[in-house]
Amino acid sequence: MKKVLIIEDNVMMRLFLSNYLGNSYEVTAVESPQQAQGFIGRAEEFSLVLSDYYAPASEEHIALKRVQTAMAWQGVPMVILTDEHKSEQRIAAFQFGAQDCVSKPFNPLELSLRLKSIVIKNDIKAVYRPVA
């Protein structure tokens, strides 16, 4: 079963995502990017990182960038959940390095399908990576 790392500070949202995505993935959920840094050495275990949006220049944003960079080196994609339906946050998420961005509130089925699509595409890329 594929593993997903969820980074979400809101307890109710974290529980909802863990339960909902737990039907399709093995889920590890943490409260902050700082806690997620503990999983950097085990990046290869994860198929995807799903994170809440953190304001640029905040401590959380800096810690999340460390997580994103380490995961990206292992080929692990990241999806960001934004707090508002504003294009500025979505643009910032893509500039940050996210493969996709979903605004809250979201349709759980749509989120699930987006994550599945990203995981499948990432698996296909992993199979066809050139060996140098």
pLDDT at 57: 86
Q: Is the pLDDT of residue 101 over 70?
A: yes
Burial of 55 (0-12, 13-18, 19+ CB in 10 A): exposed
Arithmetic mean of pLDDT over the chain: 91
Domain limits, the chain? 3-127
What are the contacts of 56-65 at 24+ separation with CB within 8 A?
56/92, 59/34, 60/9, 60/32, 60/33, 60/34, 61/33, 63/32, 63/33, 63/34, 63/36, 63/37, 64/7, 64/33, 64/36, 64/96, 65/96
pLDDT at 14: 97
pLDDT at 122: 86
Share of the chain above pLDDT 90, in %: 67
Q: Measuring CA to CA, which residue among 104, 100, 130, 103 is closest to residue 117? A: 100
Q: Is the pLDDT of residue 126 over 80?
A: no
pLDDT at 69: 93
Domain 3-127 CATH assignment equals 3.40.50.2300: yes
Amino acid at 81: L
**pLDDT interval class at 98 (50, 70, 90):** very high
> pLDDT for 38-76, tens place per residue?
999 887 899 999 999 998 889 999 999 999 999 998 899
